[in-house]
């Protein structure tokens, strides 16, 4: 069998091919270009003039950092 994305469709994210960035505009805490944990490293279908199968980027620890600063 071919490895295809599942038929469970409940969400759409944007893909910006010029920058090779997946963008979820419904994310509550993610910054532009950062995907929620459940959207990382997933098979996707990119639609448009040249549809294709792809995979969203995996986790990047440098992007998942939270920095809290306090004034003394």
pLDDT in tens, the chain (72 residues): 566 666 666 778 999 999 989 998 887 888 777 888 888 998 888 988 989 999 999 877 776 677 789 998
Burial class (CB in 10 A: 0-12, 13-18, 19+), 26: exposed
Asked if residues 13 and 24 have their Cβ atoms less than 8 Å apart, the reply is yes
Q: Could you state, in order of their start, the residue ranges of all structural domains in the chain?
A: 14-58
> How far is it, in rounded angstroms, from Cα 72 to Cα 70?
6
Strand 52-55 relative to strand 43-46, pairing: antiparallel
């Amino acid at each position: 069998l071919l490895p295809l994305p599942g038929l469970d469709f409940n969400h759409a994210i944007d893909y910006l091919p010029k920058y090779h960035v997946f963008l979820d505009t419904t994310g509550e805490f993610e910054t532009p270009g950062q995907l929620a944990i459940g959207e990382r490293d997933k098979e996707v279908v990119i639609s448009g003039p040249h549809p294709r199968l792809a995979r969203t980027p995996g986790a990047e620890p440098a992007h998942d950092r939270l920095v809290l600063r306090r004034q003394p």
